[in-house]
Structure 1
Amino acid sequence: MIKVGIVGGTGYTGVELLRLLANHSGVSVEVITSRSEEGVRIDDMYPNLRGHYDLQFTVPDVEALSECEAVFFATPHGVAMKMAPELVERGVKVIDLGADFRIKDLELWSQWYGMEHTSPELAAKAVYGLPEVNREAIKGAQMLACPGCYPTATQLGFLPLIENKLIDHRRLIADVKSGVSGAGRGANIGSLLCESSESMKAYAVAGHRHLPEIKQGLSEAAGRPVGLTFVPHLTPMIRGIHATLYGKLKDPTDGLQELFEARYADEPFVDVMPAGSHPETRSVKGANICRISVFRPQNDDTVVVLSAIDNLVKGAAGQAIQNMNIMFGLDEAEGLKHAGMMP
């Protein structure tokens, strides 16, 4: 059994890690931390986990975490980069669900996150954990940066087109909607039921922190810098991300459906839907799956890709576990074979 620790176990991604790992046959969760909830039992805070864990939240402690083989950081940015170096030095595999190690250009990272990066050496070694792109590098990783939710849905949708140089890489558009859980569990007026229900709004149109991460991944796939307009929206649902992605085809042609099917034929967690389908967020709720469909409306030169994920699973905790499985040589789908929850 792989001994696992989780730093930051009280947020939505932390409890989602606990929910998914409860059914993982190869993992034992040994440590769960929270400074604010020290001494509180997991099942007192999350009664859905009654019978699955007999653990209390503890204050983060490097000595205790070093007894684990893998440690997940489900924490705000700025936390993992302070603790991860010592854990890595002690031989622990670290999987950061936050943003500390996603962007390689640390000056750019500092511009978007408003603080100096304190672990540049580890950042240089970190592997970006999008399995559909970096599976081989993930196998040997000790420090892994789990992609953000918006970047996961957006990159998976654009990748077949970018890799095959079929669209104008300078004029990409991502119109993406997210459920309220993407804002986290902390008290926030904007995510209160009365504020977010029966309403939808765009936000961060001038620039969102996930923009440089998405551009980094797509630029690597394109072999040159891409131009991207990324507009996120808050929608009145708890979970889910729906990305509507637009590109201009260089040479309008048929065969896009076959292109996507071929690109993801061997990917266990990407489902290219039949031609003409429209993926729904409810079909991926609770599941570690990205459902994609591709269209060329009116047979014109615009391609539209629809990409749907659960922001807490394939966009966070599920993808982190998928990466852990790869890192330890386990079945990639272990603990992640849940079907989506409908209705």
Structure 2
Amino acid sequence: MIESTYLAKKRLVRHPNPKLLVLRLEMSSDRCSRTLFLETYSKDHHDHINIFIHSYTSPVPYPKYSTYDTVGQIMGYCNGIVCIYDLGYIYLINPATRKLRILSPEFLREYTGRTGWSNDLPINVGFGRDMVTGTYKVILMYLFDRNFVKTEALNLKNGERRYVYFPISYGQLGNDKRSIFANGSLYWLPKPDVDFYTNQLIKLAAIDLHTETFRYVPLPSWYTKYCKSVYLWSLKDSLCVSDVLQNPSVDVWSLQQEEPSVKWEKMFSVNILSTNCLDANFWKLCLAAYYFRSTGRDPANNTLDQVPDDHCTNVLYTEKLGSSV
């Protein structure tokens, strides 16, 4: 049964409003220091603060117009912990407690002993939690032979690294190669894989973080190769998909079950024209709409004016004081 808009939104009210975290970079005037931090945005605007992550220093100035001028990406969020990938480092931070764990490039380059594995840094990173054991895991993807993706699951509790079968090539991954964590799995939205006869996109890619196995998940029937603005996201740990170029209301479709058959339901529609009146749970959806629209923001001077359209550098976050890795 499809939940009514009223009941679905009433259920959201029972949870505290999340905050929006934006990854920022500050370069010193002499270009010898590079500082990474998170900036917070909230619905009430009372706790707009910066959260320090890490500072790099160099005996000589960093070169101009290089990768050092580019901020990294927020690769995932799970249970109060944010995963950031920047210049070969993985940062896992709980913004509420400031507890930070760093995985160095030297560690991430560790040779696995398997023939053909690259010794380079990961091209992509995913983060989530095994819902059976409670263990946090990082998915590391390495590029082999220019197009093949070799994948490892890193157990953050015992340090064990295991190979995970992942049949998606680098070229098949979408432009946004980040995954979304929901329901104990990581999900990717690959480039269109279209059934010739029905013109329908067939599947999402997914890895179960408990069994560390790959599977395909069919998409909603309305999703075709002509859907150029489809956004994959998570709402209260449920996987959602939306076409953010719908105007003014965007439909929210949620994955309700996968067994014995996949079931998607339309939960409600969200009017994204004014972020000032929008529940904070839908801020990321609104930013995704800004990102895909070629005409810019509409309307101007809204709550998120200072937030970059690049949704790879921001994430919705709910405080979890007891979470750590």
TM over 0.5: no
Report the TM-score when normalising by structure 2.
Answer: 0.29
Question: Which has the larger share of strand?
Answer: 2
Report the TM-score when normalising by structure 1.
Answer: 0.28
Question: Which has the larger share of helix?
Answer: 1
